Every structure is written in structure tokens, then in C-alpha cells.
Structure 1
Amino acid sequence: MVKTVAVTGATGFIGSALVAKLIATGWQVRALTRARQASSQKNDASIRWIYGDLDCDGALNELVSGAEAVVHCAGAIRGKSWADFYQTNVIGTQNILRATSNSSCSKFLHISSLAAREPALSWYTQSKFEAEAQVSSFSEKFVTTIYRPAAVYGPGDKAMLPFFKAMRYGVLPAPGNPANRFGLIYVEDLVAAICCWLEAKRPVTGAYSIDDGMPGGYDYRLVAAIAQRVLQKSVRCLAIPMNSMQILAHLNLWLARFFRYAPVLTPGKIRELQHPDWTCDITPLKKELIDWYPSYKLEMVLLDLVRI
């Protein structure tokens, strides 16, 4: 019997990689999209696109109807106010949870962020923290699981692309202290962990941090050293003064409110970048997903990403 999974954020960086993998491994997918049927969004035997968003109860009910599981990838990563993040990340998560509770779905996976463990830093981190609380509040109605990935990268990622492009020219921009540590996870490894969760013979519940298993994570100087080794050219770490970044972030936020666009660089984002430790331990997740272990380290894929 073909199994069905509902996916939000299906056209995003993580969601699109997940949908491709699910179809390739025999799942039937129901995917939420805000765009009317584009050339790349045609219904067939493997996928059914549902038009709507996280504020549309009718679309959400249609999305989860008949699905065995929900993977909630959708979320706001940029915004000019707390309301922007709250509406999508908190209320939107509450809405899909409510739709799931009214369906026959037996389990729900929320793709959160490692940022949720530091809610005081920014609107984004606070919204991810509160979204996780919404997920936990439904844990008595169906199986709920939270993945907190570190920085996700890979083909199709726009957030880290400027860093990879800069390495072509022998420079790695380092916002703040170059010694700040962070975890990374290649998108295919995150997708594999999601698929293992779907296929797990016994329910996997709770919240799990996830990265590529690099002991102690990375810092900017280590990334520069890896790039230098892989590219066989000098790559130097260029520290970007935080005072200048803060001024630019405040200006960007003011302009965003005036011209009504959603900014990435905000004072909150600067606080996130200044945080000294975005590393994590994947041991708890490995114990639950016995068939999963990260396959990719930065050194293995860096050359291809720099060439994109």
C-alpha cells in the first residue's frame, strides 16, 4: 500500500529536496504551495499540490486528509516586525496542528531550528521557540517530533551562497568573532533523517538537535582552512566589524518598514550571528534513528558548492 505524507514549505529549500526524495522512495506526497500551478508544480500519481497557505483552514484540511504523517517545513526566516514572524511561525504552526488533530494523521514532524534554544536573541528565535511550544501542546493527540537543525546548506540554498561564492576569490566573510562556533548539516542528510523518522518502526517523539556530527562543530577559521585545502588556493578569514553591521541592520530595518519589504539583516539577526555557540550533539537522535548517520561533511561537498 502506498503511504501518503503531507508537506508544508514544499517549494522551499528543504521542502523541495524532501519532496524529491519522498517521490523517489515511493511515497505519495501532498504538498502545500502558495503559487498557482507553475510548470514545476503539476499533479501526477506521486504528488498532489494543494493551493493555499498556513492561514487557509480549507487548504490545510485538504492537505492532511488521508495522510499518515505531516512534515511541517514552512516558516518565516525574514520579517520587519514581530508580527511577521508570529503570524507564520506560531499561528501558522498552530493552524496546521489543528488541522492534523482533526484528521487521521498519526504523527507530526516539525522542522524547527537550533535558534529556538535562544529565544531572547531575535523575533525569529522567539517565534521558533513558541512554535515548538505549540507542537508540544498537541503531543497527547498524536506523535509529535521536533528537529532543530543547525545551519542547513546545499544546492538551492540562498542564505549561505554568498559565503561559498566569496571563497572563489580567496575570502571568507566572518560576521563577528571568527572563533564563534556553529554546526552545519547538508540538506541531503537532513532529508535522510526525515525519511528515517517516517519509516521508523516505533514512534520517535521529543525534540532533537541535528548537524553533521563534526566534533565541536566549525568556526570561520576552520571553514577557511577547509576551503584552502579543497580549493588549493589561499582563503583568508575576513572579520566583519559588528558595529558597522549593527548600523547597517538598523538602517535596513527602517527601510524595510518604509518600503514594505521583508529584510534578512536586522538587529536581531546580528545578535544571532554574535552568539558564540551554535553547536549541538546528535547522539540522542542517532539512538532513535538507528538507520541514520550524516553522510556529508563540508569538505566533501565544498568544491561543488563554490562552483555553483
Structure 2
Amino acid sequence: MTHIIAMTGATGFAGRHVVSELLARGHRLRALVRNPQTAGLPPEVDVVTGDLANRDALTRLLSGASAVIHLAGALTALDREGYFRVNEQGTLALADAAQTTNVRRFVHISSLAAREPQLSGYAASKRAGEDVVGPRMAALNAILIRPPAVYGPGDRGTLPLIKELTRPVAAIPAPAHARFSLIHGRDLARLIARAVESDLQGLHEVSDGKPGGYGWADLIRTASAFRGSPIRPLFLPRAVPAAVATVAEGLSRLTGKPGMVNRGKIAELYHPDWVAREGGLSLPDPTAFDTGFAETVTWYRKAGWLPQGRGTDTRTASSRTFQ
């Protein structure tokens, strides 16, 4: 008998990588989507129309499923309540439905931001989502996964940073001494697939496995080597992006459309320690950042997201295809 794996967030950047990975492993998938017409998922994926606030849709999503991967979340919101409505209350609704339908495995994808809930509404809401699942760890056979910054072909979230790292002078909204972990989207998908297929429980911070994470000097060195000429970092005083964020929040309130730039995001960017604490979930062959950076920049340029410039991904075309 073939088992069904249910998913939320399948249409996002990480979600699409997870879909490709699980289909390649022979799993049957069922995904919760808001609009099937624009979802763009492979035809092998069964689609359930709805969102995390729709209890009937959650029941349809989970009925007969052996596992659920919870990837959906609010990355932006107009206010603190908007983050909590999705990241906490949506997780609660899914966890309740998973118990009601007797799903045997719950894989909850949180964020490394949840480690510092005082920094932003997003970070606090992601911790609140973890707090929903934590007390039900045994009942749900659950695992909590905290990824760091996820990058790779097709990702718009890290596009501004990658863009800066292709310029002669890179304007960086972060402290010069900060350290952080990274993970390629394809590798995160592989880790999630491993989590689905195992019974490992608990909270796990994941990354590409680089001990001690990265400093900005590491990224500048990689980007300079790819470009073929030195890149000079310009570390912006926090007051500069904070002022921009204040204006951006005002515009968001006027338009009713949340944006990625807000004061909470700036607080996250200027936190000095986003290094993942390695646990029991890892890969033996993660993508090194120099390889992932070259692949990502090459894809961005081919897609027209970045202008053409110096640097070339010398791997074969098939190896850099984005699924």
C-alpha cells in the first residue's frame, strides 16, 4: 500500500523543492493550496483547495494520510496579530486535525528566528507555533525543524542579498561581526524527506553543516572569487535600514499589503548570532556555499532576475536545473 504524505506550503520556494524530492522518492503527495489554478504543482500531486483557517479543508487534506509536512507560514504581515493568526493558530488547527484523523507523523518546519522570539512578531509567532507542537510531540510523533536562511535558484527571499554580492561594493544591512548558518533549498528538502521517513522526534536546528557557520568575510570571499574581482563590503549603520523600514511599514498600512521590509526584520538582520546548533538531523554531502552561490547567481541571470555580469557557473546545464 502506498502512503500519502500531506503538505502545507507546497507552492513556496522550499515547498517546491520538497515536492520534487518526495516525488523522486516515490511518495504520493496531497497539498493544501489557496488557488489550484495558479499553484503550478506537478500533475501527480493531489490538490485540496483551502487554507489553514478552513477546518473542512484540513480534514480533507489529512484523511488517509500517513504524515503531514507543515511548511506554510506567514513571512510578512501588517501587524503582530497577522503573524500569529497563521503561524500559531494555523499550526494549532493543523495539529488538531492531525490528531483527529490519526496522522502518524507530523513534520513541523519552523525557523531559526524562533530561537529569538523577542526580536520580531514573526520570530515570536514561529516560537508560538513550536509551542503548539511541543507538548504533543509524542502524540503526533512530531519533529520540529528550524532552518537558517534558505537560498537557491528560484528563491526571492535571498535575492536582494545575492544581488549585493554580485556588485563591486556590497551594501550589507547587518553587523560586520555577525555569524550565521545557511542551507540550500535542495538540501533542506532532502532533510525534510529524511524526517518524514524516520521517527526522530524533538527540536532540530539544521544547516549545511559548516562548523561555526559563516561570517561576512566568507561570503565576500566566495562572491569575489566567482566575480573574478574583489568585492568591498559596506556595512550599513542600523539606523539607515531602520528608517527605510519605518517608511515601508507606513506604506504597507496605506496599501493594505505587507512587505518584507519592517522594523522586526531589521532587528533580525542585526542580531549577531544565527548559527545553527547541530543536532541529530544532517546530510553527509551538503551543498557547499561556493557551489550553491554560483548555481544561484547563474539561475537568477538566466531567469532575468539579475543582470548579466562577471562570473560563470561551470557545472553542466543539467546539474543546475531548478525543479
In the alignment, is residue 8 of structure 1 matched against residue 18 of structure 2?
no
Could you tell me which runs of 5 or more consecutive residues in structure 2 were left unpaired when the two chains were aligned.
301-323
Which residue number in structure 1 is paired with residue 259 of structure 2?
263
C-alpha distance in structure 2 between counterparts of 1:267 and 1:163, whole Å? 18
2:172 touches 2:234 (CA, 8 Å); kept in 1? yes
Residue 210 (str. 1) matches residue 201 (str. 2): no
Matches within 5 A, 1:229-308: 229-286=225-282, 292-307=283-298, 308=300
Deviations 1:69-88 (A, max 9, x none): 00000001111201110101
Q: Find out whether 1:35 has 2:35 as its counterpart.
A: yes
- Contact kept, 8 Å, 1:174 with 1:220, in 2: the verdict is no
Cross-structure match for 2:169: 171
| Letter of the structure 2 residue corresponding to residue 158 of structure 1 | R
Whichever residue aligns with residue 219 of structure 2, its letter is V
TM-superposition CA deviations, 1:138-179 (whole Å, max 9, x none) = 224220110001101111110111222233332333113122
CA–CA separation in structure 1 for the residues paired with 2:267 and 2:39: 40
Q: Alignment partner of 2:96: what SS?
A: helix
Task: Please tell me the residue identity of whatever aligns with 2:102.
Answer: S
Shift of 1:294: 4.6
Q: Is the 8 A contact 2:77 2:83 kept in 1?
A: yes
Question: What is the CA deviation profile of residues 24-58 of structure 1, one whole-angstrom value per residue up to 9, with x for unaligned ones?
Answer: 2110000111113337346x4x3201110000011
Q: 1:35 to 1:66 in 2, by over 3 A?
A: same
| Structure 1: tracts of 5 or more residues without a match | 287-291
C-alpha distance in 2 between matches for 1:100 and 1:12 = 22
Residue 139 of structure 1: aligned partner? 137
Aligned mates of 1:172, 1:109 — CA distance in 2: 37
Would the alpha carbon gap of residues 213 and 158 (structure 1) be closer, same or farther in structure 2, given more than 3 Å must change?
same
Which region of structure 1 is more displaced relative to structure 2, 67-76 or 164-173? 164-173
TM-score, normalised by the number of residues in structure 2:
0.89
Counterpart Cα distance in 2 of 1:255 and 1:285? 41
TM-aligned CA deviation for residue 215 of structure 1: 1.5
Q: How many residues are aligned here? A: 299
Q: Residue 231 of structure 1 contacts residue 303 of structure 1 at CA under 8 Å; is this kept in 2? A: no
Distance 1:77-1:178 versus aligned 2 partners, 3 A rule: same
Residue equivalent to 1:159: 157
Supply the distance in 2 between the matched residues of 1:280 and 1:266 (Cα, whole angstroms): 24
- In the alignment, does 2:233 pair up with 1:221? no
Deviates more, 1:297-306 or 1:99-108: 297-306
Q: Distance in 1 between matches of 2:242 and 2:208?
A: 30
Which residue identity lines up with residue 292 of structure 2 in the other structure?
A: V
Under a length normalisation based on structure 1, what TM-score does the superposition of the two structures give?
0.93
Partner of 1:63: 61
1:289 alignment partner in structure 2: none
Deviates more, 1:189-198 or 1:172-181: 172-181
